[in-house]
Structure 1
């Protein structure tokens, strides 16, 4: 049997969950080859200097469609030219803004959010399909509990995540050789939560605001490294039986991926 090193494309790697995923993968005894993207790559450039199996690329997923298409093609082509294959997409990038009630929401802001949170994922998957078919590859989509739990002002973000879940199930149906899962990471102690407490509380109701503040005060949020471990392992070895499913990161069925 020919041994090979898997190739993973990881987005949103510059901070939070994405940085935790990247750190976990690089610390493995036999780490995969990785292309990691982030809008701001300053935190991960030193890692690329220290790890020959890591390439980092700055990407702004809010770019117009034609530009985004070119950026994604360049990322995927870089992986194939450098390592000859693509085994996994771990699509972790996303943006909460705009947090605004529907009666004052700007359509342009919703469009920008959909480009980042949903349409870029469609473009990524579509462009990568020829390579993923060759490797019986894997797609891990980072969804959210906000896809089915509702908060004031979260209409754009939550609806993109609901669309992402539907995309996941459709991909599993249409591409039976590829294994795809959508994972809700829980409420994670990241910059997004800091923004919720510090900036967006005035949009949400008093009760919602108190809920998010209490999670920080009680130290009961999910740690990025915990959910990052599960997502990284799914990208490496997700079972075919999970394909098309939307799961919470701490579901019992994922216990082996959290180890």
Structure 2
């Protein structure tokens, strides 16, 4: 399904200012990886809000993006593409008429890569994982920063517990998420007007968990094979909407005192961002 790129919300360039005047609590948020799992849950949560938020959604599944556009034709702009294509990534925020303001940036996209042990892994696979998980984030942040500074906005990363756990065969993925957490700290210092938070979403029932069970177990240690192969059957996987709600709330409401932190979605510090 190929669609022309849309450069503005609504039917005219004037829509965004009229919408913001009419809905004074409305935020404009860009969400990556929005066609499945946590990213889709973030988008659904924000679109259901009475605040009438405006969303720019990126992802690889054009059918899901088309569904979002069909349901919210004035409030959603979609950008289908591959986050390893840095030219595409740089173009996302620059190609859309946002009238000088972006309130939130949710960096949720990512890949586990080939999940080989370091001694078996092609260095090109390592580089590809970092390009998707880290470098693309930097590229998108660079293009979005002028808009985020203007709104004193927020950046929220979907990180992982793998950033602090050395799972065998997860070296590239874990190291890339550790880099994201360090990037969060750096942005706190370099961009004090923008609140940046990194969130550990827990073990969530997403396609990534399916890939772990079906593709990657053979390269992992036995104890980890048992843990991840039985998590779904034992009911230990979180529904995506649990961490998704927290990430969505942080994208529009994160307190500046959280900036630079790497926190679990259920950390007591985030109690006010959870409904229950």
Same fold (TM over 0.5): yes
Which residues in structure 2 correspond to 1:169-184 (within 5 Å)? 169-184=185-200
1:218: how far off? 1.2
1:195: how far off? 0.8
Which residues in structure 2 correspond to 1:13-24 (within 5 Å)? 13-24=34-45
Residue deviations 1:118-139 (CA, integer Å, cap 9, x gap):
0011111112111111111110
Distance 2:99 2:237 in 1: 37
1:82: how far off? 4.6
Are 2:161 and 1:152 equivalent residues in the alignment?
no
Change (3 A) 1:85 1:78: farther
1:140: how far off? 0.3
User: Is the contact made by 1:144 and 1:183 (CA closer than 8 Å) also made in structure 2?
Assistant: yes
Distance 2:237 2:167 in 1: 17
Q: Which residue of 1 aligns with 2:16?
A: none
Distance 1:128 1:82 in 2: 11
Are 2:133 and 1:117 equivalent residues in the alignment?
yes
Which residues in structure 2 correspond to 1:24-173 (within 5 Å)? 24-51=45-72, 52-63=74-85, 68=86, 70-79=87-96, 81-173=97-189
SS of equivalent to 2:272:
helix
User: Is the contact made by 1:7 and 1:83 (CA closer than 8 Å) also made in structure 2?
Assistant: no
TM-score, length basis structure 2:
0.88
TM-score, length basis structure 1:
0.94
Residue deviations 1:29-50 (CA, integer Å, cap 9, x gap):
1231100000222113112122
Q: Which residue of 1 aligns with 2:11?
A: none
User: Is the contact made by 2:100 and 2:150 (CA closer than 8 Å) also made in structure 1?
Assistant: no
Unmatched tracts of structure 1, length 5 or more:
none
User: Is the contact made by 2:83 and 2:89 (CA closer than 8 Å) also made in structure 1?
Assistant: no
Distance 1:114 1:242 in 2: 25
